[in-house]
């Protein structure tokens, strides 16, 4: 039988159609069912430190994390959760809080009903929710509490804490096959089955599909892609993506972006987290920024105005364009929380900061507002382009400050009250 012909494709490549999933409400945030892909993160404070945790959740929220997970690992942490929620609400922060439970989650949720009520979602790991004959009972206890409080759950299988009984069973079955599969393939199958069997059990216990999100995290890029492709193929649960133990710095960013980028391009994933190991004393919000930039770069969402800047070469020995690009980018990211309400649509702004005449004018014309700075040996003049037309030429030692002021003025005129920049402002001016 001949395979059906593929439908004609558009000339411009784009992501595959989103994998259809069942929508889940986490607090007031929609996950799956066609909703925008949600960015989330996790604190690394001791949850028992109420003020420290409030401060970090607030920082993550301001940076753009739309859900924040906190560790609930002992009595003191569980007792602190309602106070953390209340402290955030006093600051006007309503970002949903997710409780991360392992080993004794059933006990903490039972002993601290205020914690169970304050959280917006519970995260359960089927590999360590309980062991042997206690596993099913303790899993059922958490599902019962979630049902009682109308809370969704994330059932998150993890490579590092895989259900050993399930893995052993699948390994034994594989060994008996005439042509056994590779051991890693069996482990991937165990990951998928762990998540799906647990979700099926939760449904048997009365939890509807629209209150469940699934994940199956591993630390190797190719394994992660393979696991999630199968998970999506076999179910329509909302899916959380993340490369676990991704690592520190550029390694973690590259690995997470490679894995999640491929899956997102295939239409898989309703919410994501970039799990970066922070530098000592580093900023936890970096993982939020990376997640946003991944989604924005791929065209799924728009969070902050983009600043295009050339990499520099022998024609651009001056660091002026590098410093200006950094200054503009930092300024935009810092101001975005306020701009979102003051300047609707500003996140779609494109700014170009180029270092010489080779690509500078052309790239600047493609941006909403752009500048081509003088390179080595060029005249000390910097043409500025607004909406594709030459607007002004800046000269002198204050080029950087003058351009920054023009960007601010453009934002105010273009997005303030929804008004467009008047045509009279884009005529050439020397």
pLDDT of residue 313: 80
Report which of residues 162 and 258 the model is more confident about.
Answer: 258
pLDDT of residue 317: 62
Is-contact 253 290, C-beta < 8 A?
yes
Nearest one of 17, 32, 10 to 267, comparing CA atoms: 17
Dihedral (Cα; 9, 10, 16, 17), 10-degree rounding: -100
Alpha helices, H only, 160-247: 164-175, 183-204, 221-234
| 58-72, 352-366, 411-425, range with greatest mean pLDDT | 58-72
Band (pLDDT 50/70/90 cuts) for residue 216 is very high
Mean pLDDT (whole number) for 373-388 = 85
Q: Give residue-wise pLDDT tens across range 297-356.
A: 999 999 988 888 888 788 776 677 788 888 888 888 888 888 888 898 898 899 988 888
pLDDT of residue 5: 42
Q: Can you point out the beta strands (E) in 341-388? A: 350-354, 369-372, 381-386
């Amino acid at each position: 039988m001949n395979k059906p012909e593929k439908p004609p494709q558009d000339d411009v490549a784009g992501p595959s159609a989103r994998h259809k999933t069942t929508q889940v409400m986490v607090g007031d945030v929609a996950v799956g069912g066609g909703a925008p892909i949600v960015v989330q993160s996790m604190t690394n404070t001791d949850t028992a430190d109420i003020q420290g945790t409030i401060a970090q959740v607030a920082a993550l929220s301001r940076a753009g994390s739309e859900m924040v997970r906190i560790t609930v690992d002992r009595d003191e942490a569980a007792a602190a959760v309602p106070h953390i929620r209340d402290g955030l609400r006093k600051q006007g922060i309503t970002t949903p809080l997710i409780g991360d439970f392992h080993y004794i989650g059933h006990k903490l949720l039972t002993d601290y009903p205020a914690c169970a009520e304050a959280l917006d979602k519970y995260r359960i790991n089927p590999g360590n929710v309980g062991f042997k004959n206690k596993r099913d009972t303790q899993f059922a206890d958490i599902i019962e509490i979630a049902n009682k409080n109308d809370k969704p759950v994330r059932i998150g299988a993890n490579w590092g804490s895989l259900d050993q009984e399930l893995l052993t069973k699948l390994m034994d079955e594989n060994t008996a096959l005439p042509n056994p599969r590779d051991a890693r393939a069996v482990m991937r199958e165990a990951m998928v089955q762990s998540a799906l069997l647990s979700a099926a059990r939760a449904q048997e216990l009365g939890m509807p599909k629209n209150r469940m999100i699934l994940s199956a995290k591993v630390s190797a890029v190719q394994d992660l892609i393979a696991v999630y492709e199968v998970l999506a193929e076999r179910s329509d649960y909302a899916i959380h993506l993340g490369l676990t133990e991704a690592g520190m710095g550029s390694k973690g960013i590259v690995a997470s972006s490679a894995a999640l980028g491929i899956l997102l391009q295939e239409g898989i994933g309703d919410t994501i987290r970039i799990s970066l190991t922070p530098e000592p004393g580093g900023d936890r919000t970096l993982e939020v920024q990376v997640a946003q930039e991944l989604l924005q770069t791929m065209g799924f969402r728009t969070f902050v105005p983009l600043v295009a800047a050339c990499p520099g070469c022998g024609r651009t020995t001056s660091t002026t364009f590098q410093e200006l690009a950094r200054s503009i980018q930092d300024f935009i990211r810092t101001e975005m929380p306020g701009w979102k309400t003051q300047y609707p649509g500003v996140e779609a702004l494109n700014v170009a900061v180029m270092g010489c005449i080779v690509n500078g004018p052309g790239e600047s014309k493609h941006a909403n507002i752009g500048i081509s700075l003088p390179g080595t040996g060029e005249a000390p003049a910097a043409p500025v382009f607004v909406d594709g037309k030459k607007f002004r030429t800046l000269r002198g030692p204050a080029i950087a400050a003058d351009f920054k002021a023009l960007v601010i003025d453009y934002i105010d005129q273009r997005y303030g009250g929804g008004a467009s920049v008047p045509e009279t402002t884009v005529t050439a001016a020397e």
